[in-house]
Amino acid sequence: MRPHQWVKNTFVFIGLLFGHAWHDPHLVMQAVIAFAAFCLVSSAIYTLNDIVDIEQDKQHPKKSKRPLASGSVSISAAILLAAILGTLGLVLAYAASQTVLIILIGYALMNVAYSLKLKHVVILDVFVIATGFMLRILAGTLGIGIPPSQWLLLCGLMVTLFLGFTKRRAEIIALAEDKTAHRKVLEQYSPVLLDKMIGITASGVIMSYSLYTMNAETIRIHGTANLIYTVPFVMYGVFRYIYLLHHQNRGGDTAHDLVRDPHMLIVVGAWVLTTLLLIA
């Protein structure tokens, strides 16, 4: 079920923060339910993905220890678990709103297609990963009645593309000569190509967020022109993540990297706290 990956579903709460809706109990409850729905459905998808990738995972230095690849859990038990998780997740999504249900169904179908085919298509595979994060943002905005900001969506896209390309780069570093045995699409990537894409998306993250903080509409909505002072936190986080990728062989698991690195924990916490103080 990979509960440590549920940290990715916190993207659902971004709308509450930047939509000034944290004081509305009804919207907060809807966002919490949507978060729980994404956790259950994403866990169902992780389970299905492990079923599809069982042979490749057996050849991976870390993934070979997963329950299915190691043989400690049967495929029939995994299918049953995925069905239960998926059903409960969709029920919760409907409890949040019909829009959240539609978004979550789209998320599930896209990820099934990713597991079966799209993860083998170079570049598109990363865009599918990024789209999953964007759907989380939409569930926490459009899904609960908060109009999504164009700047919010642009920043979210840049961040998720950056994380997607760093994930592929980390896989190449970790797997070395056996990279294609585990993930076929890695044959289409090279370190130089991925480093260029990481550089472009990292620049996109910093520039789009910086322009967002200085945008007249942003200043009007939040009632402050001081969000520009949160940009250094974003820059440090991006640079630290690139450092972890190249010097500590991390980046393959964003959720783990965020909670294991004290620098990342501190900078993310400082960004959240500073942003809340400025806009609240």
pLDDT tens series, the chain, 280 aa: 888 889 889 999 998 988 888 889 999 999 999 999 999 999 999 998 888 888 777 777 777 778 888 888 889 999 999 999 999 999 999 999 999 999 999 999 999 999 888 888 999 999 999 999 999 999 999 999 998 888 888 999 999 999 999 989 988 887 765 555 556 788 889 999 999 999 999 999 999 999 999 999 889 989 999 999 999 999 999 999 999 988 877 766 777 777 788 999 999 999 999 999 998 8
41 and 7 together in one domain: yes
The span from the CA of 233 to the CA of 239, in Å, is 10
161 and 143 together in one domain: no
105 and 164 together in one domain: no
156 and 175 together in one domain: yes
Identify the domain containing residue 122 by its residue range.
Answer: 1-148
CATH number of the domain that residue 52 is part of:
1.10.357.140
217 and 120 together in one domain: no
169 and 233 together in one domain: yes
Domain termination residue (choose one: 125, 148, 171):
148
List, in order, residues 6 or more apart from 68 with CB less than 8 Å away: 50, 51, 54, 57, 75, 78
92 and 126 together in one domain: yes
The span from the CA of 64 to the CA of 71, in Å, is 9
Q: Give just the sign of the alpha carbon dihedral 164, 167, 173, 179.
A: negative
Domain termination residue (choose one: 148, 179, 194):
148
Instruction: Report which of 111, 127, 123 is spatially closest to residue 43, judged by C-alpha positions.
Output: 111
28 and 144 together in one domain: yes
The span from the CA of 133 to the CA of 160, in Å, is 7
Q: How many separate domains does the chain show?
A: 2
Q: Which two tokens stand for residue 264?
A: 């990342």
144 and 160 together in one domain: no
Domain termination residue (choose one: 103, 118, 148):
148
Q: Give just the sign of the alpha carbon dihedral 21, 23, 29, 34.
A: positive
124 and 139 together in one domain: yes
